[in-house]
């Protein structure tokens, strides 16, 4: 590990100890309305569920396609373990799912992949560079058996069959950049309509959304398309949701669940449990999120203790899906 990463990990520990991270948002009017009785705090946990679709235009590695497939297969390894932990500790997760994962297979029509979907122009953002070719070039256009990193109806079924009452949310159909500056809304709308369609074919209604790569945009359209929440990432905040329009709720990220170099397993556990304790102490909403492609070390040596802690304090902090919490808020605020 390099010197810069060690410094960053140590600095982060110091900021945490001083209470500078996560930032505790000042009280808002009617603060008690945000917490269901008789609890003292709320915990939301969501997963950006995307398999190979997220990193295929990543700028952070030399071979993004290999990383994409590796992430997809790592997700397949982690999901059953995550689901069994959630069942054991009765913790529901909101799975913000890339729409393509609902498909068993796909094939080009007259040589064009997914011709019903309009394409983003070439663009670059903080994480990705899409500079040439067609947006769907990496789509193998085969099936679940041949390319299990690109299709996942089996995992969606496993999530729905679990004992814990998980929610299937939306993460666009093909993991597009959603910023207003990249697209006037045509791509965003078509991608979300397609997600509604493939979800409806499995009897599901989508109402919770997570913008890929934190590319928050098209909020009014999101609301009009039937969604009641999205997640934002403007620093680590232990606070309150913000209401947009008549009932589109913004849940502000508190902490990402991930394996950080320079931290021991024990420090990871200590830190996430302390965040939960701070949420209870200050009566705030704790928004945890993760990529299920994360290191199996996190799944094996951190996640069990964090979920166990949530279960141990379940009389004080309630774990809800995004849809359930948005429904609760809209009925009160």
Which residues of the chain form contacts with Zn ion (CB under 5 A)? 48, 50, 54, 106, 139, 212
Whole-number Å distance between alpha carbons of 91 and 175 = 26
Which of 72, 212 has the CB closer to Zn ion?
212
Phi-psi region of 187 (alpha: psi -120 to 50; beta: other; left: phi over 0): alpha
Dihedral sign (CA 158, 161, 167, 168): positive
Nearest-approach distance from CB 105 to Zn ion, in angstroms: 8
Nearest-approach distance from CB 254 to Zn ion, in angstroms: 18
Nearest-approach distance from CB 220 to Zn ion, in angstroms: 22
Nearest-approach distance from CB 108 to Zn ion, in angstroms: 9
Which of 17, 202 has the CB closer to Zn ion?
202
Which of 48, 177 has the CB closer to Zn ion?
48
Nearest-approach distance from CB 37 to Zn ion, in angstroms: 34
Burial 129-167 (b: 16+ CB within 10 A, else e): ebeeeebbebbeeeebeebbbbbbeebbeebeebebebb
Whole-number Å distance between alpha carbons of 57 and 129 = 5
Which of 71, 324 has the CB closer to Zn ion?
71
Whole-number Å distance between alpha carbons of 328 and 34 = 9
- Ordered DSSP codes for 30-45: TGGGGS-TT-SEEEEE
Whole-number Å distance between alpha carbons of 15 and 182 = 35
Nearest-approach distance from CB 55 to Zn ion, in angstroms: 9
Which of 49, 89 has the CB closer to Zn ion?
49
Whole-number Å distance between alpha carbons of 32 and 11 = 34
Which of 211, 268 has the CB closer to Zn ion?
211
Which of 76, 282 has the CB closer to Zn ion?
76
Whole-number Å distance between alpha carbons of 150 and 138 = 10
Nearest-approach distance from CB 42 to Zn ion, in angstroms: 23
Dihedral sign (CA 161, 166, 167, 169): negative
Question: Which residue(s) pair with 231 in the sheet?
Answer: 251
Ranked by CB distance to Zn ion, the top (closest) residue is 106
DSSP state at residue 69? H
């Amino acid at each position: 590990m390099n010197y810069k990463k060690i410094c960053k990990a140590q600095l982060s520990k110091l900021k945490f100890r001083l209470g500078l991270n996560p930032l505790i948002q000042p009280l808002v009017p009617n603060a008690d309305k945000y917490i269901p009785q008789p609890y003292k705090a709320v915990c939301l946990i969501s997963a950006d569920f995307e398999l190979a679709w997220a990193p295929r235009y990543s700028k952070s590695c030399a071979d993004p396609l290999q990383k994409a497939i590796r992430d997809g297969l790592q997700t397949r390894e982690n999901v059953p373990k995550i689901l069994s932990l959630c069942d054991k500790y009765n913790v529901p997760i909101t799975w913000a799912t890339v729409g393509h994962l609902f498909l068993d297979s796909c094939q080009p029509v007259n040589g064009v992949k997914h011709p019903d979907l309009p394409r983003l122009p070439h663009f670059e953002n903080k994480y990705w560079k899409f500079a040439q070719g067609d947006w769907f070039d990496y789509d193998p256009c085969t099936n679940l058996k041949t390319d299990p990193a690109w299709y996942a109806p089996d995992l969606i079924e496993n999530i729905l069959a679990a004992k814990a009452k998980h929610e299937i949310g939306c993460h666009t159909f093909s993991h597009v950049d959603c910023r207003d500056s990249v697209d006037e809304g045509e791509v965003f709308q078509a991608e979300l309509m397609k997600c509604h369609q493939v979800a409806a074919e499995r009897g599901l209604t989508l109402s919770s959304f997570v913008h890929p790569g934190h590319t928050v945009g098209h909020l009014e359209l999101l609301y009009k398309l039937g969604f009641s929440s999205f997640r934002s990432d403007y620093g680590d905040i232990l606070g309150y949701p913000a209401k947009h329009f008549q009932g589109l709720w913004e849940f502000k990220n508190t902490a990402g669940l991930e394996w950080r170099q320079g931290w021991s397993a024990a420090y990871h556990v200590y830190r996430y449990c302390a965040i939960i304790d701070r949420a209870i102490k200050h009566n705030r909403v704790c928004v945890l999120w993760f990529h299920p492609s994360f290191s199996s070390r996190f799944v094996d040596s951190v996640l069990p203790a964090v979920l166990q802690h949530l279960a141990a304090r379940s009389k004080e902090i309630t774990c809800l899906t995004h849809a359930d919490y948005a429904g609760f808020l809209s009925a009160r605020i």
